[in-house]
Amino acid sequence: MAGFIGSHLAERLIQMGRHVVGVDDFDDYYIRATKERNLLTLRRDGRFKFVEADLAASDLSHLIITNCRLFHLAAQPGVRGSWGPQFDRYVRNNLLATQRILEACLRSPPSRIVYASSSSIYGDQPPGPCPENANPNPLSPYGMTKLAGEHLVRTYSKGYGLPAVALRFFTVFGPRQRPDMAFNRFIQAIRTHRPLTLFGDGRQTRDFTYVDDIVSGIVAAAEEEVAGETFNLGGGSPATVLDVLKLLEKLSGRSVEIEAHPPGVGEPRATWADTTRARTRLHYRPNVSLAEGLRRQWEWQSTEPLAS
Ligand SMILES: NC(=O)c1ccc[n+]([C@@H]2O[C@H](COP(=O)([O-])OP(=O)(O)OC[C@H]3O[C@@H](n4cnc5c(N)ncnc54)[C@H](O)[C@@H]3O)[C@@H](O)[C@H]2O)c1
């Protein structure tokens, strides 16, 4: 809840007049100060309660109330870091934590569980928009754990009738984007007049999705009659990384210097969400363009402390 998407979701729920209990353990994947800043507005609101707890270890029984709406976004994200010695973090935070939440839900069943999954479960797919019934083909240990998390949620739903929904987010961007994500790193490099690190030739495409649009989809998944279903949440207009760099050159008024690296292992060449199902069942309508969303992220990062 103190992370990138979770903090935006909590703010939206508060704006809607809900009471929110946010749980986070301030995992050190990125610095606590950034996550504390994400919580600043929320902590000032009497309807928000924050609990610092590790979902993979703490007693969760007092955190889950019967008939609450439970949004499970806590995870160890990142494709590159999921290879090698950190794999245990992915298993712990993406699988064990999910299993413990589901067990706690059996004692006090929520009226809805929304599980944050990822486009990473698809890997490489035939060209064109990818529907939810495509064959999952994760290319990284991260994608594998997110898919396993989905399966775990479905297993508990089938076994015990828990009303769960899985949402597959496609590359999310906007203010508070995680510091390891490409737009954040690019903007940071431009602000500090350093070359920016580019993995691959820049022609890989991503279905970039603005964070407020993702939040609208998450909220709808908790409100509509869609228990048991799975949805893609994408921005709808894929762009290449080179397109993004051009937009950043325009925003910054500078030309970017690129430090080229080989493509990251486990990164698909293209992602593109077929959002027909979300449009029909969740009335999902992404409406912030890449250019406008990038402008908002640029503005936000201009007020953030520069990382060294
Ligand atoms: N950002 C994206 O583009 C994207 C794309 C697809 C899916 N997702 C999924 O969306 C969710 C949110 O992603 P994000 O980008 O906001 O990441 P984030 O890292 O900013 O937020 C995740 C939060 O979970 C917390 N956390 C991790 N393990 C925990 C544990 N054991 N107990 C308590 N808290 C724990 C972290 O401290 C962090 O604040 C994740 O499930 C991620 O897999 C994100």
Question: Nearest Cα to 133, choosing from 276, 286, 235, 279?
Answer: 276
**Ligand 1 site, residue 245, Cβ cutoff 6 A:** no
254 C-alpha vs ligand 1 centroid, how far in Å?
A: 32
Q: What pLDDT was estimated at residue 201?
A: 94
Scan for tokens 């899985």, then name that residue. Answer: 166
Examine the pLDDT at 85 and tell me if it is beyond 70.
yes
77 C-alpha vs ligand 1 centroid, how far in Å?
A: 6
Q: Report d(CA 125, CA 196) in Å as an integer.
A: 29
Q: What pLDDT was estimated at residue 12?
A: 98
CATH number corresponding to 4-174+208-237+272-288 = 3.40.50.720
Catalytic residues: 142
What is the pTM for the complete model shown? Answer: 0.98
pLDDT tens string 137-185: 999 999 999 999 999 999 999 999 999 999 999 999 999 999 999 999 9
- How does residue 308 score in pLDDT terms, banded at 50, 70 and 90? low
**Ligand 1 site, residue 210, Cβ cutoff 6 A:** no
Question: Nearest Cα to 180, choosing from 59, 68, 17, 307?
Answer: 307
8 C-alpha vs ligand 1 centroid, how far in Å?
A: 12
For the chain, the domains span 4-174+208-237+272-288
Q: What is the mean pLDDT of residues 232-242?
A: 96
Q: What pLDDT was estimated at residue 304?
A: 87
Angle, CA of 250, 256 and 257, to the nearest 5°: 175
